[in-house]
Chains A and B, each alone.
Chain A
Amino acid sequence: MMVEKVKGIKYHKKQDVAIVGAGMTIFRRRLNETGKELSYYAVKQALEEAGLDISDIDMVVMGSAPDAFDGVHMKGEYLLDGAGASNKPYVRVFVGGGTGVFAPIAGYWHVASGLADVCLVVCEEKMSSSHPHPQSAFKYIWDPILDRPLKPNLIWIFALEMRRYMHVHNIKHEDIALVSVKNKANALDHPAAQLAAKITVEDVLNSEPMALPVRRLDVSPPSDGAAAIVMVAPHIARQLTDEPVWVTGVGWSLDTTWWTNRDLYFPRYVAEAAKMAYKMAHITDPRKEIDVAEPYDPFDYKELHHMEGLGLAKKGEAPILTREGVTARDGDLPVCPSGGLLGVGNPIAASLGVKVAEIYWQLAYRAGKRQVAKEVTTGVAQAWGDLMQVGTVVVLSNKR
């Protein structure tokens, strides 16, 4: 130790941060709109709900995943005008699939630090520009020397992780498939949904093999889309609404890209991110204190894996909670009431719209048909990304 310091993360802030509006586009495999146009739609809607004009915005945060999807290698700058950020302090943040929850964390810094009173957070993804399939762009996340000569597909890492998770806890594919069944059915109530459907466990188990154990219906679809939220200081929130939703905790953590060096059965980086966010939010028993959750569900097993990383279930317990209906919309711990990425779609960073925005709508009691049955005070949204290495967590509450 070279300097004298108090160890650990500091939770000092200048002011509290509230969310007062959110918006999103439809999520689809291919949209005719450009990324800028999609961003514009999402921002307009978020401003409308907040009751603000673009001139009220102090600063803007953009979240967007690999440039290779859009084929524009300055995507943040390219999307700037659609994000309403012309001539404003503006930054793009990116941690792979974790970006949709990381962008609101960056928005939080802007307001909590006192630098901004009103910060707009926009996330965009246009995966359909990349041909023949967005997975072709994912080739370039692999280590160029050791992995790429083996001609990997992105699905491999999920398949390898899913198998390890199933093995360590002796989990059956049937139990994992229930997540896909639940989320796709929940999505029937989401106006933006791409793959809402009533399906059965058998449908999942009999769907086309991709990289076993992963089958077609275990996976969320690639999508185009955008989403936005408005984050404000307390004195602004008071003027706009009687029911702001407060950001009570944020956390993020990354592990090394040496992903073959860790036991994949448990997402340690998610647990670290959650620990940080919960400490900030004064949550000691997440299973009891969290009322509703939106963990990242690009694959069905990932919802379970992330519930365990978030401490919403003990290790290996998430499939049991799912089977018992605890995670259903009318259950004791509703999980992915939006329909998640599996049902609404997976425009990487724009999953903001079904993660942080959904928890905001749930806690503001504005989720309409998707509103969970129980009374809600506190919710958590989480995303994951890159080579099994990124955890991003936001805790929201309708009480300050």
Chain B
Amino acid sequence: MAVGKKDISCPPYVKGREIELEDLKEKKVTYVEDHPDIRYSFTAGQAISKFLKGLKEGKILGVKCNKCGRVMVPPREFCELCFKPINEWVELKDTGVVETFSISYIDPDARPLEEPEIVAVIAIDGASPHMGILHKLGEVDPEKVYIGMRVKAVWKPEEEREGAITDIKYWKPIEG
């Protein structure tokens, strides 16, 4: 096989014409604009509906698989590993541990936020190890957050809860 050192530089050439954002703004290139307005109503499904109802009541619900024994949150209708239906629901604590966290300076469109926010994966007490949910931290200096920090849910007042993940405002450190 004729492999070994040789002087061929691939790709031999590259095509494409770069344009700048300014070229669009100043209409130097031809383009067409569209603003799709597509609306969706996502059903929450069997298991998550029950989970959201729990949040409205100030409770975090999980499920237990009777085959592998995992206590899972968010809850689900079937265990994806055993592929068996779930028939045991468990009420978990509204406390947990910071698995990992980030201090975010950007919104969903990558625009700068006025105030950075702390997002985290929180492993929920009462669930299997590393079983966490995505949420936010509050009442804490970003500098003071660490992995392994114990936290507790700060709920919206009962009358403001609507059966949504945002019924928990954020999670705050547990004193001491």
Contact = CB atoms under 8 A, between A and B. Distances in A.
Nearest to A194: B18
A235 interface: no
Contacts of A28: 16, 18
B44 to A, nearest CB: 5
A78 interface: no
Contacts of A152: 108, 119, 134
Nearest to A40: B15
A49 B10 contact: yes
B40 A144 contact: yes
B39 interface: no
B72 interface: yes
Interface residues of B, number: 64
A361 B11 CA distance: 8
A2 interface: no
Interface in A111-144: 132-133, 135-136, 139, 144
B133 interface: yes
Contact of B104 (A167, A211, A258): A211
A155 interface: yes
A26 B9 CA distance: 15
Interface string B12-27: 1111111111011000
B42 A145 contact: yes
30 contacts: A22-B10, A22-B11, A25-B15, A25-B16, A32-B18, A132-B111, A133-B109, A135-B109, A139-B109, A146-B74, A149-B164, A153-B108, A156-B102, A156-B104, A159-B102, A160-B119, A163-B102, A164-B100, A191-B9, A191-B14, A211-B106, A242-B2, A243-B2, A258-B76, A258-B80, A260-B131, A261-B72, A263-B99, A365-B4, A368-B10
Q: Which 9 A-B pairs have the closest CB atoms?
A: A368-B9, A159-B102, A164-B100, A26-B16, A211-B104, A144-B42, A212-B103, A25-B16, A135-B110
Interface of B: 1-21, 23-24, 29, 34, 36, 40, 42, 44-45, 48, 52, 72, 74, 76, 80, 99-111, 116, 119-121, 130-136, 147, 164-166
Given A211-B102, A365-B3, 16 more contacts: A25-B15, A32-B16, A45-B15, A149-B165, A149-B166, A150-B134, A150-B165, A156-B102, A159-B102, A161-B100, A192-B11, A243-B2, A263-B99, A364-B10, A365-B4, A367-B9
